Copies of this chain bind each other. A is one copy, B any other.
């Protein structure tokens, strides 16, 4: 079935879901999500067959958006540190600028309702980001661990850094630097 109707409404539903999942978790009622999107309760189910599908698409969509955002302006031939910093920097900026999306992701990540398929789709969307790590990985001291482990550590530190920025936005830049330093030193030389 081709995507029905208004793309604007679809986006409104996703945007409303971001807000509600961020604050209430995946238990946020579909009726509230619909209300936040200014559509009727039943209309939501024209766009998403059921709540699980909405949640999964939300997950994949945010992940894809983040992936694309990170890669904007990425210089594949820059030095390894520059590439790492680019990813770190854009990721942090995205998370600090869209705290609700970040919060929603936090909830979705731990939810049993996100299928394996969605997680894989998320990885796919992140493919280029992962690729950018490969060289660094191959050369670093973690070369015997899966690339995924380095990726995950990076992400964990991004998450930690964003948590602190969220609590204390004034020091955004300090945290951004400090977090990257831990990562870079950590996996480096």
Contact with B along A159-178 (1 / 0, CB 8 A): 11001100000000011001
| One of B25, B40, B148, B187 near A182 (C-beta < 8 A) | B187
Q: Is the CB of B25 within 8 A of A111?
A: yes
Interface size on A, residues (CB 8 A): 42
Query: A39: CB under 8 A from chain B?
Result: no
CA–CA, A185 to B140, complex, Å?
12
CA–CA, A27 to B51, complex, Å?
15
Query: A135: CB under 8 A from chain B?
Result: no
Query: A142: CB under 8 A from chain B?
Result: yes
Residue ranges of A at the interface with B (Cβ–Cβ < 8 Å): 2, 23-27, 40, 42, 106-107, 110-112, 141-142, 144-146, 148-149, 152-153, 155-157, 159-160, 163-164, 174-175, 178-179, 181-189
CA–CA, A153 to B189, complex, Å?
19
Task: Name 11 extra pairs, CB < 8 A, besides A24-B112, A182-B187.
Answer: A107-B110, A141-B181, A142-B178, A142-B181, A144-B178, A145-B175, A153-B160, A153-B179, A185-B186, A185-B187, A185-B188
Give 21 A-B contacts (CB < 8 Å), ordered by A residue: A2-B40, A24-B112, A25-B26, A106-B110, A141-B185, A142-B178, A144-B174, A144-B178, A145-B175, A149-B175, A152-B160, A152-B164, A153-B179, A156-B157, A156-B160, A181-B186, A182-B186, A184-B186, A185-B185, A185-B188, A185-B189
